[in-house]
Amino acid sequence: MARILVTGALGQIGSELVPALRAQFGSESVVATDIRRPSANGGLGAGPFEHLDCTSIRQVQEMVRRFDVGGIYHLASLLSAVAEEKPQAAWELNMGGLYRVLEVARQYGCALFFPSSIGAFGPTTPRQGTPQDTIQRPTTMYGVAKVASELLCDYYALRLGVDARGLRLPGLISHTAPPGGGTTDYAVDIFYQAIRYGHYTCFLRPDARLDMMYMPDAIRAMIELMAADPGRLRHRNAFNVTAMSFTPEELAAEIRRHIPEFRIDYDVDPVRQAIADSWPQSIDDGAARAEWGWAPAYDLAATTTDMLDKLGGKLNATT
């Protein structure tokens, strides 16, 4: 059976996607790759791990040939706040990496999953009920690369026959690997600080409303989209998906239902606040629901309960 290749496997998504794919398809069927080396305890479970710089087409070709790869989840990228600090590096990795992986997918007949983001929208996009097909004029390098990537995936699907599919993911909340350098990261950090110190200083304003999703829903969405009947996919790529939409003060209130003494204050980072202000507040995921049956399982209350339970257990075990 052809194997699945995951790039950026040590990141926030990859560290939960790889074990989920291995549980479904078998450990040896999933090749985890990253430009970093895994730590001693790994975290990805049993199965192959390879060093891969996805901006090198030769390295990607060799990996696909060596492991007889049939599908690629291409996750390697810089997140929004880091991309604003290093726009040239972000273009090189986020666009350059995708272009090379798409080329290899074309040459070897691989299917490809690409994670776009709510960052693909901009200040002129309708902010409430953001439609699937709408204005996309982002003002960040992260967003510019995401829009270009969505278009490139469409081109490779329509003109070059690559089965390229993708989601516009909202902020992801998870307890396995921390995110690094995103605008929505506060919604993960807050849980670590609430459990450890009962206090969190937030870098976004109390009323900064953004779409979010708990990682188990995101992982399921990625796997379900790649398994979906292509005949039903009118969009195929860049599906809006969401599970909830909340502000920092609403998340803090939900945490307080479990930790009544929890306190939040604010030290707003103008760069990340400006990015948040340019993104939608609630997107419409009707196309994903209609075309491949998307439905989230976790709302804010269920996410908060599960995060505090799982993360509490993990942090207590390491103290």
Report yes or no: 138 and 148 within 8 Å, Cβ to Cβ.
no
Of these residues, 142, 186, 200, 298, which one is catalytic?
142
> Residue 59 or residue 80: which is nearer to ligand AKB going by CB?
80
Q: Is 174 in the site for ligand AKB (CB under 6 A)?
A: no
> Residue 88 or residue 316: which is nearer to ligand AKB going by CB?
88
Sequence-distant (6+) residues with CB within 8 A of 157 are 163, 164, 236, 237
In angstroms, give the least distance from the CB of 119 to ligand AKB. 5
The token pair that represents 282 in the structure block? 């609630």
Among 19, 171, 280, 296, binds ligand AKB (CB under 6 A): 171
Give the residue at shortest CB distance from ligand AKB. 182
Q: Binding string, 180-199, against ligand AKB, x = CB under 6 A?
A: --xxx---------------
How many residues contact ligand AKB, by CB under 6 A?
11
Other CB atoms within a 10 A radius of the CB of residue 315 amount to: 14
Sequence-distant (6+) residues with CB within 8 A of 296 are 213, 214, 217, 241, 242, 243, 244
In angstroms, give the least distance from the CB of 15 to ligand AKB. 15
Q: Nearest to residue 291, comparing CAs of 166, 160, 170?
A: 166
> Residue 71 or residue 138: which is nearer to ligand AKB going by CB?
138
224: DSSP letter: H
Phi-psi region of 45 (alpha: psi -120 to 50; beta: other; left: phi over 0): left
Q: Nearest to residue 114, comparing CAs of 84, 146, 142?
A: 146
Among 55, 80, 237, 278, binds ligand AKB (CB under 6 A): 80
Among 95, 98, 112, 118, binds ligand AKB (CB under 6 A): 118
Q: Is 119 in the site for ligand AKB (CB under 6 A)?
A: yes
In angstroms, give the least distance from the CB of 278 to ligand AKB. 12
Q: Is 117 in the site for ligand AKB (CB under 6 A)?
A: yes
Q: d(Cα 47, Cα 69) in Å, to the nearest integer?
A: 15
Let me know if 197 is a catalytic residue. no
In angstroms, give the least distance from the CB of 276 to ligand AKB. 8
Residue whose token pair is 């516009």: 168
Residues involved in catalysis: 142
Query: What are the residues binding ligand AKB (CB under 6 A)?
Result: 79-80, 117-119, 170-172, 182-184
